Amino acid sequence: MRDISISEKGVTFLKDVRGMFVKLPSLIKSPVSQTASMSQKEGLLFSGFFIGLKAVIALLVTLIGIFYFTEEFSYALFKIALFSLILTAGLDLLKVVYNRAWAGAFGFKVSFGQMLPLTGTRVMLGFVTGLLMVISLLLSWQLSIFFFMVSRFALPIIEFGAYKEVLKDKPDRCTYAYIVSCICLFLSSGILLYFIGGELIWMIQEYIMETIVYYLNHLGILDILNVFNVL
């Protein structure tokens, strides 16, 4: 009976995942209304999948970059990988907490599950624009920058639109709640960068400088610069 139950749960989960991907075109077409209409079950699966996928991709890219530059792994470099998870899944979930907390502070009755799809949709649309950036980079780097700038402006606007749609009334309070939520996330990001990421950013800069010097030396440019006392 236990095996059958696990099997049934697996089939149900796969059906839910399939339904989530079937719903993607409608989410891209109508992100605000579709996000607001998600049930808590749909929102949990949808948001958890894309937030988790974003964190995994960020972690893999970080690990690949670490081994490319250093060809070794240490505790300090492990902190870089951990920091990449905090900057992705950690801040995404923290944004959900802030959205929920400040909505409650401004008098709205809303659950964590209702706020979760807002972040999930933003992350999903971030994947779409990221894919467009990669494809357009093969054609023109200016076009890739254009998609990047559009995503930076469009994604917060879409999230705010869904935020207002979920809260429904009192648009002024809704607006201030969202602004305060964004400010809190910005401050939290700054604190993380200052107390946790300062050392890591310095390490990354050191690796980049070492790599630049290596290639300059390999090409013979470093000797030329030394002659003219540039370095």
Length of the chain in terms of residues written: 231
**According to the model, what pLDDT value does residue 1 have?**
45
- The one-digit pLDDT tens for each residue of the chain (231 residues) are 444 555 665 566 666 667 677 777 877 888 888 888 775 666 777 888 888 888 888 888 777 776 766 655 566 667 777 777 778 888 899 999 999 999 999 988 888 888 888 888 888 888 888 888 888 888 887 888 888 888 888 888 989 988 988 888 788 899 999 999 999 999 988 887 777 666 566 666 666 666 666 655 655 554 544 544 444
Tokens 């964190």 found at: 55
- Asked if 163 and 176 touch (Cβ cutoff 8 Å), the reply is no
Domain residue ranges in the chain: 40-194
Closest to 95 in 3D by CA, of 113, 114, 119:
119
Q: What is the pLDDT of residues 68-104, one digit of tens each?
A: 666 555 666 677 777 777 788 888 999 999 999 999 9
> Which are the contacts of 199, defined by CB distance < 8 A and separation ≥ 6?
76, 79
Closest to 188 in 3D by CA, of 87, 112, 110:
87
Q: What is the pLDDT of residues 180-211, one digit of tens each?
A: 999 999 998 888 777 766 656 666 666 666 66
Closest to 31 in 3D by CA, of 171, 164, 142, 147:
164
Closest to 158 in 3D by CA, of 199, 126, 184, 122:
122
